[in-house]
């Protein structure tokens, strides 16, 4: 089970949605989040940060390492990339705002069902394929992993 976690970016522009695999790590493993519009981003530190398409996630690596070692994960493999790519602390969806956007887009598509059922079915079929293609083309990290 994954619990939804929301973090406001440091500039207050966007809210990013995260999920932490099986709640092994608490929400507090994410120290700060910076969106592309944030002005006062710190210098990138690969030991504690992950960059994804203009967004930066700053992790509490001491906490993450402590908790993941208790789950039998070797300290040497625990990096920000490992946390993100292994889904221990990652976007909920393909991007920081994917879930909210997905809900809004699906509501628009569902509205078609009342008006034109064939158009609804056609739109629904192409929607998920087109979304994944757009995420991949935009360079989102999780979409690159899926398409690899």
Residue 135: predicted pLDDT: 96
Q: What residues of the chain score a pLDDT lower than 70?
A: 1-4, 147-148
pLDDT digits over 89-127, tens only?
999 999 999 998 999 898 888 888 888 889 898 898 899
The pLDDT value given to residue 54 = 96
Confidence at residue 111, expressed as pLDDT on a 0 to 100 scale: 87
Q: Would you say 33 and 10 are in contact if contact means Cβ atoms under 8 Å apart? A: yes
Q: Model pTM? A: 0.89
* pLDDT at residue number 97: 94
State the Cα torsion 48-52-57-62 to the nearest 10°.
-30
């Amino acid at each position: 089970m994954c619990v939804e976690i929301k973090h406001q970016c440091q500039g207050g522009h966007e809210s990013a949605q995260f999920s932490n695999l099986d709640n092994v790590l608490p929400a507090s493993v994410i120290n700060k989040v910076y969106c592309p519009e944030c002005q006062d981003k710190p210098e990138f530190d690969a030991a504690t940060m992950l960059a994804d398409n203009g967004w930066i996630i700053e992790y509490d690596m001491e906490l993450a390492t402590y908790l993941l070692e208790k789950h039998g994960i070797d300290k040497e493999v625990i990096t920000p990339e490992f946390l993100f790519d292994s889904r221990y602390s990652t976007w909920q969806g393909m991007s920081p705002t994917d879930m909210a956007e997905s809900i809004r887009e699906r509501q628009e598509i569902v509205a078609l069902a009342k008006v034109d059922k064939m158009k609804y079915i056609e739109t629904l079929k192409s929607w998920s394929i087109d979304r994944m293609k757009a995420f991949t083309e935009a360079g989102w990290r999780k979409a690159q992993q899926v398409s690899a």
